[in-house]
Structure formats: structure tokens, C-alpha cells
A and B are shown apart, each in its own frame.
Chain A
Amino acid sequence: MSEPMLEPMTGPGSYPEALLRVRDLRVEYATASGPVEAVAGVDLTLGKGEFLGVVGESGCGKSTMLFGIAQLLNPPASVTGGEVWFKGENMVAMSAKSLNTLRWRDFSVVMQSAMNALNPVHTIGRQFKDAIKAHAKWPPDQIRVRSAEVLELVGIDPVHLKSYPHQLSGGMRQRAMIAMALLFTPDLIVMDEPTSALDVVAQRSLMAQIKELQKQLGFAVIFVTHDMSLVSHFSDRLMVMYAGQAVELGDTRSVFDVPAHPYSKGLLEAFPSIRGEKKRLTGIPGAPPNLAKPPSGCRFHPRCPVAMDRCKADVPDLYTVGSAQARCLLHEPAPVSVEVES
């Protein structure tokens, strides 16, 4: 099986060279009452050096999708369909052993909570060493030099290689996690809400730092977050997820300026601003659906402020809207008139 040729990406801000192509990715959780499809067919193309933001509420499947792409799912979750093409290979079909040669060297993962992701009983330097040893045979000198180098890259004094995680602040721990992901200068780093445990100021400086490093080293980023405003200044493209599906995908600016999907609009109106008029906001009423029984038709229709009757029955596709794509019947292209013979 070889990588399918796809139509070239066009439009402003598109990246000519694709690094990652995800085709119809499906992930299911096996539960006592039957399988629950947490990711229901996601298509995605990521260019070299691109920064993609993935936003959605808890339980929309964004982290599961990320783990599905990185092949990090454990039972009861498993990839049940689709392909993940990375550097000419389909990672879904790869063996654990061959995946291991890609991991950390070609793509790495930054987990959500640095408090839990770092081992509390080992120094930072020891953990860096473990990661290197698992994926390369380097002499001790090189390990030391490279560890110090990456720590400096993220703005931490290399003396902290001798520190234990509890001796670092939350922001520094999260930076150390990013440093660890950079050990082999991978082409792709997937980040699962790396900033959500930090406060506003630390969050902002970490984002600025990730962007800076990305410019410097040229890796691509998939950044998952529930806070849409956080990625507004940093991501090139934005994917909005709802109930396991991508409901909007487009240039970050266009999604913010002219959100095409009612859900994106709702997310944008859910956070208060520090400027402008003070008015009562409503957020998005209701809660995300139970994925074991997703709603019929458009999955957003029970919470949608502009739902029509047909939204209950007709399943929307991803339609092109300007430079973006949206999964909403409002944007369904006018049907080509077909004569129905009676």
C-alpha cells in the first residue's frame, strides 16, 4: 500500500509539502454497552512547519484524536479505521517496533500535565537521558551536551538538569517537557493542552516561546486546547471539533473573523473580553452529547441556536465556505437541479 496522491493544497497560507495526512481516522472505545466512537472520521493534512490548533469542549474527542494520530492509544481505545500517513508511511499499519524508530526522533508528544508526566523521583537530566537511550546510542558526553542545549533552548538554566521536578515551578516543568520533546529535533510535535495547568501570564509566555522555537527549528505543531482564544495569535490553521468530528477547519484568522459553523460562533462568544462593551454572554447552552448515542442528523442540532427542521435528519458534510470548511447544512451548496422522474 502506498501513500495516495492527493489534490495539491491551494489558497493563502497553505503549505506545499505535506508532513502528515490523516484520512478518515476513526477511534472507538470498547465499553460494556458496546463500542463508543470518539473520533468519527477525521481528515487532516498538516504541512511542514505548520501550526494547527485543535479546539473543542471536553469530551469532543480532541485528545483521543491526537493519541490516535500518535498511535498512543491503549485498550479499551483503538483505531478502527482510517490512515495516518507520516513521512510516507501509514502509522496505523506499522508494527510497534518500527513505530519506535519514528517516536521521539521524528515526532514527539507533550502531555497535558507536566506534574504527572515527569517522574518525581528522578532528576530532569536522568529523564532526558532515559528518553535518549531509548531511541539512540549516544556517548555520555553527547547526551549531556544535548540535554543542556535543549534546556537552554526553552529558557531554563542547564543547572536544573540536576533538579527534581518538585524543585521547578509549574511553568518550568512544562518547559522542561517541551525541551524533552525537542531532544531529537523532530519534524512534528503534538501537544495536548500543555498550558492548561498554568495561569494566564505563564500561559502566554509559554505560547510565545513555543512559537519562537517553531520559527527557529521549523517543526510542525498540532496543539489541542479547549481555550480558543489561546491559539488565536499563534496557530496558522484551526480545527474546531465537536462530538468526534471536525466541524470547521480553516485559516485561524478566517475562523475568528467569520466563523462559519454555529458551534465555532458559540465558542467565540463564550469568553468575556477585557475591552469593549460589557454585556451578558450566554455561552453554549446544554452539554456535549453522549457519544454512545450521537444525535441524529447534525450532531450539534440539539444545542444549535439556528437549527432547522432538516438538521435533525440530514447529516451534513464538510462544505467549503470561503477559505474554510464547515460541517453545517447552512453552507450546503445549492443542489444542482436534478429532474426526478416520477
Chain B
Amino acid sequence: MTENTETAPLLRTVDLTRHFRIGGGFSRNNLHAVDQVNLTINRREIVALVGESGSGKSTIARLLAQVYKPTSGEIVFEGRPLSSLRGRKAQLGYRSDVPMVFQDPFASLNPAYRVSHGIERGLKLHRTELSPAQRAEEAERVVEAVGLNPAAEILQRYPYELSGGQRQRIGFAQALAYRPKLILADEPVSMLDVSIRIGLLNVMADLRETEGVSFLYITHDIASARYVSDRVMVMYGGHIVEAGPTEPVLQEPKHPYTQLLLSAVPDPRAPLSVDAETAKAEPPKVVNPKPGCRFRDRCPMAEAICHEKTPVLLELAPKHEAACHVAQRATAGVAAR
């Protein structure tokens, strides 16, 4: 299954699936957190993964970070399946290529140590060739790269001396110290003030330019996804329901769920449009699902077929895929004419 490292996408998943057994010890109930997800992330690309709480987006991040093992399916990094990685060195190598930035900057830095500790520890572990002096130099470089000045002084501070936005920048600096190829950013800005968020989104965009890193940006805020990403994937109930280049997906959403997400974004420049009824329902816990579209109970366009057959992702416009029977038929109808 090994592919050419150069031409293969940076990371792709093949039918990635993760179920959790829930209930008591003898329970046979399975929660389908992620079901048969195929995603691709190319080099120097920012991909946004959008969905409500409970849609399975964080589970994907944890699968990619190897916190969870997949129930089935495979993650292929630079053409090599992760299940073929043998030994601690290969594992460490993957971890330094694909680090993660966490949601809560108040909980993800150790309050007992100076900022430099976390960064240099990562360097010690993943870049053993550096001397102590080089490590200190490299730590300053990454702190500057995320827009914190003066770097030397920031490194000597404790986390409590930093604001939320600064802490989250340190989170990015830690990830950057490994010279990563892909950073998994799980809701990196959702705990921050609106006025601080944009600065971090800019950090992500800049790091892609200067360091050539790819990002998987996980968020429920579709407006920020538009601001920073090249491609967007929309998740619902463990499935990817729509995927494609950001602008077409957001300007002409094919899936009714994407349309709902878009209508929920507060936009003071636009008139109020929210369908309180659809919005009231909540994303399902997908336990032992039967075939059928998982969005059908909230969907304004649901038909008989939606209760019987699970829709699959089909390309409805160039590179723009959606998993919706109604949208697929509409496109087929236009094509037939």
C-alpha cells in the first residue's frame, strides 16, 4: 500500500471509522462517532472541518493524532499507512510531523513551568540533534514566528502572565518547534474573545506561507473557516456531508445542513434569517444507526428515500461533493436536460 512519497497527498484517510461502545459492560450499543470518512490534506493547504458539537470532528483530530485507534479504516501519511509504522522512532517521527493544538489555552500549558519549558521539551524529544544553545535559539525563533515579541522575555514568563490569545500562540509555537508538516488545530480560537480570534487565524495563514505547514482547522464557526481555509468539509453525525473548495461550498451550499449552518452565523450586515424550528433540534447521537440520511429528521427537504438509503458523497460541481439525495437528483436533472 506504500505510495510514492513525493506525489502522494500529505495525508489521506481511507474509510476511517471509529465507534465507541457505550452503556454498561454487556452493552452492545455502539456510538458511531466517525463513519467511513475519506479525507485528503495536501501540502501547504488549510482544510477546515466544520460541524456542530457532537458531529465527530474532534474524534477525527484525535484519530489523526493517534490518541484513538481507528475501529476500521486507515490513515495514510505521505503515502505510508500508519498501521505499518513500527517502533518508537517511527511513531515519534509521525508525532512531530503532525502535532496538535488544543482548544483550551488555559488548560493546555503547565502552570508550574515557564513557557520555554514546554517548547524546549518538545525540541529535546523530537530534534535530538540540537545543542542546548541551539534549542534556546530555535525556541526564540518559533515564538517570534507566531507573533510574540520580545521572544526572549516571553519565554521566561509563566502561563499566568499571558493573556488567552498569547497562550494560544504559545500552543502554536510548541507545535511549530517540531518542524511539522501538518498541524491539527482543534477549535483553537473558540475559547478566545472575538477580537483576539482574528489574530490567531492570521497566524495560521502566515505560518502556511512562511513555514509551509498544512492545517486541519476544526471549528463550528463557518465564517472563520471561510476566512482562513482553502477547502472546507462539513460534518454531521459522523459523516462528511459536503466537501469542496471553500468559496463554492459557502456560496452555493448543496447540502441542507450546510445551509442551516450558514443561516445560523450571526451577520450584522445581513437581515435576520433563522428557522427556529430546524435550529431547535440537536445533532443526533448516532447509536446503532440504520441506513438512511442522518440529517433527515431535521431536514426540511427530507423524502422517503432519505429514510431508506444512506446518501454517499458525489461530485455535484467541480471538486464539490455532497451527500444528499435531493441535491444529487437536482444536479442529475440539470445534467440530463
With a cutoff of 8 Å between Cβ atoms, the chain B residues found around residue A271 in the complex are: 194, 197-198, 223-224
- The answer for the CA separation of A221 and B74 in the assembled complex, in Å, is 51
Check A149 for interface membership: any CB of B closer than 8 A. no
With a cutoff of 8 Å between Cβ atoms, the chain A residues found around residue B272 in the complex are: 233
- In the complex, how many angstroms separate the beta carbon of A248 from the nearest chain B beta carbon? 15
Interface size on A, residues (CB 8 A): 45
- The answer for the CA separation of A261 and B226 in the assembled complex, in Å, is 28
Contacting A at CB under 8 A, from B170-227, are: 193-199, 201-202, 220-224, 226-227
| Chain A at the B interface: SS class | loop
Q: Given that A199-B52, A278-B227 are contacting pairs, would A229 and B267 also be in contact in the complex, using a CB cutoff of 8 Å?
A: yes
- In the complex, how many angstroms separate the beta carbon of B297 from the nearest chain A beta carbon? 14
Interface size on B, residues (CB 8 A): 41
| Chain B at the A interface: SS class | helix
Contacting B at CB under 8 A, from A176-229, are: 198-205, 207-209, 212, 226-229
Check A287 for interface membership: any CB of B closer than 8 A. yes
Question: Whose C-beta in chain A lies nearest to the C-beta of B270?
Answer: A275
- The answer for the CA separation of A199 and B165 in the assembled complex, in Å, is 20
Check B268 for interface membership: any CB of A closer than 8 A. yes
Check A81 for interface membership: any CB of B closer than 8 A. no
Contact B266 A229 (CB under 8 A): yes
Segment touching B, from A90-98, A262-270, A313-321, A323-331: A262-270
- B222, B262, B268: the one contacting A228 at CB < 8 Å is B268
- In the complex, how many angstroms separate the beta carbon of B277 from the nearest chain A beta carbon? 9
Contact A274 B165 (CB under 8 A): no
Contact A267 B222 (CB under 8 A): no
Check B250 for interface membership: any CB of A closer than 8 A. yes
With a cutoff of 8 Å between Cβ atoms, the chain B residues found around residue A280 in the complex are: 202
Give the A-B contact count at a CB cut-off of 8 A: 121
- B54, B198, B276: the one contacting A281 at CB < 8 Å is B198
Check B274 for interface membership: any CB of A closer than 8 A. yes
Check B163 for interface membership: any CB of A closer than 8 A. yes
- A199, A256, A273: the one contacting B223 at CB < 8 Å is A273
Q: Given that A233-B272, A283-B198 are contacting pairs, would A200 and B267 also be in contact in the complex, using a CB cutoff of 8 Å?
A: no
Check A302 for interface membership: any CB of B closer than 8 A. no
Contact A274 B266 (CB under 8 A): no
Q: Given that A200-B220, A282-B198 are contacting pairs, would A274 and B267 also be in contact in the complex, using a CB cutoff of 8 Å?
A: yes
Interface string of A45-60 (1 = CB under 8 A from B): 0000000000001100
Contact A274 B197 (CB under 8 A): no
Check A163 for interface membership: any CB of B closer than 8 A. no
- In the complex, how many angstroms separate the beta carbon of A266 from the nearest chain B beta carbon? 7
Check A155 for interface membership: any CB of B closer than 8 A. yes
Check A167 for interface membership: any CB of B closer than 8 A. no
Interface string of A236-267 (1 = CB under 8 A from B): 00000000000000000000100000000011
Q: Given that A200-B220, A205-B279 are contacting pairs, would A273 and B267 also be in contact in the complex, using a CB cutoff of 8 Å?
A: yes
Contact A201 B260 (CB under 8 A): yes
The CB with the most chain A CB atoms within 10 A, among B193, B220, B261, is that of B193
Contact A229 B268 (CB under 8 A): yes
Contact B199 A204 (CB under 8 A): no
Q: Given that A274-B223, A274-B250 are contacting pairs, would A232 and B268 also be in contact in the complex, using a CB cutoff of 8 Å?
A: yes
25 A/B residue pairs, CB under 8 Å, sorted by A:
A57-B196, A58-B164, A200-B221, A201-B279, A202-B52, A203-B266, A204-B264, A204-B266, A204-B279, A205-B279, A232-B268, A270-B194, A271-B223, A272-B198, A272-B201, A272-B226, A274-B222, A274-B250, A274-B267, A275-B267, A278-B227, A278-B247, A282-B198, A282-B202, A287-B166
Which residues of chain B have a CB within 8 Å of any CB of chain A? 52-54, 163-166, 193-199, 201-202, 220-224, 226-227, 247, 250, 260-262, 264-270, 272, 274, 276, 279-280, 282
